[in-house]
Amino acid sequence: MKVTSQLVTSALLLGWLQMAHAADATPLKHIKLDDLQSGNGAIVDTRPSAFYNGWPQGLNGPSGHEPRAFNLSVNWLSLMSDEQLQQWASQHQITPDRKIALYGTTEQTSEVSKRLMKLGYINIATLSDALSQPDRLQRMAHYEQLVYPQWIHDLQQGKNVVAKPAGEWKVIEAAWGAPKKYLLSHIPGAGYIDTNDIESEPLWNKVSDDKLKALLAKQGIKHDTTVILYGRDVYAAARVAQIMLYAGVKDVRLLDGGWQTWSDAGLPVERGLPSNVKPAPDFGAEIPGQPQLMLNEEQARGLLHRKDASLVSIRSWPEFIGETSGYSYIKPKGEIAGARWGHAGSDSTHMEDFHNPDGTMRSADDIAAMWKEWHITPDQQVSFYCGTGWRASETFMYARAMGWPSVSVYDGGWYEWSANPKNPVVAGERGPESSWE
């Protein structure tokens, strides 16, 4: 019995090695987009998500991705277990017998094809006419609002870049508390904002407009200053970004994936305190410039139980069904009755449902499909909330980049809502239809 088992194991190993060798040695066939689509094949873009979203590779390069293409960046492979890669394929209805066409550089497509073939996806080719017809390419509506590391570096080096800021610009790191990690290493020339300066106790809502005006002045920010924010945690930077947009800063951008993407790119860093900033004598516009981006409790209540609006909970499933409040300082458990679940992550400090393996924003199509299951659609008035505003702000920034026209943040979130005993709450397992009851 033991000998038989060893023979079977050896045979399986030999088969796997032969498949792996074939994946390494056999050149991929080529197929055109029309032929692939007529056979219901799957298209996979192996480039970094920034280029998939719409950033051109070069000033005059093609912008976007092929119609209905999925993004599986070669950069993610080292971060994905075989099980996670299988899950990715399953989520996108890619089965082992389905034709798959890859595009990107030769190295990118080669590495992705090897990994897929080793998992049994052997019907793989390269898309021969990829990115050859700019008019058919699709892109995220406002991809420029999510920048990538090399773009920032090129901007800092004075190079001509796509979607260049119209006037003055600043790079700023945002985090809670003293700049401990910032002092050790940060993007060269970056300023620093402590989130304590834009929100305050007892509910961690945004500070008053007067205090916000003073902060912006201190940072040298005017309404026409382009502000590029990043954080060790993306949602910290997003919280500051969303409040700046509310204040009236016209052009606010996020480094997609935050500090980690800069570190992974191996770009220059510096240490020490931020440079002295020349204060701005006047914001140059009335504050708030966009008050509709931040809802209060009464306005949030007005979105409940409607088909033309969604109050969206960006909280983990255990928070949504009332198993936990998610926070040590928030005692009540439960959820706003009538709210729709917009996903989040495993707990109150994670946002895996919105992230690629490298921490960048998941594709707009994936996010829109996830929301549609809970009747959250771009034609609605949509307001996001979480416990105190950070996770909600991150999804707000993504929805804004996706081109959703009427999005906001309910600033008070579950913390404020649960503090009022008159507000309706709910707990327990429930599905999308519960928000209409």
Q: Which residues of 69-90 are buried (b: 16+ CB within 10 A; e: fewer)?
A: bbbbbbbbbeebeeeebbebbe
Structure tokens at 58: 């070069």
In angstroms, the first-to-last Cα distance of the chain is 61
Listed in order, strand segments (DSSP E) in 48-113 are: 70-71, 100-103
Give φ, ψ of 151 to 5 degrees: -65, -45
Of 386, 397, 401, 409, the catalytic one is 386
Cα–Cα distances in angstroms (integers) from residue 31 to residues 37, 102, 293, 357, 414, in the given order:
10, 10, 46, 28, 51
Q: With contact defined as beta carbons under 8 Å apart, do 262 and 156 qualify?
A: no
Alpha helices, DSSP H, located in 161-291: 180-184, 209-218, 234-247, 259-265
Q: What is the rounded CA–CA span in Å between residue 69 and residue 54?
A: 13
Q: Cis check for the bond before 202: say yes or no (omega within 30 of 0).
A: yes
Chain Cα centroid distance, residue 403 = 14
The residue among 351, 350, 320, 325 whose CA lies nearest residue 426 is 320
**Is 131 one of the catalytic residues?**
no
Q: How many helices (H) and strands (E) does the chain have?
A: 15, 19
**Active-site residue set:** 386
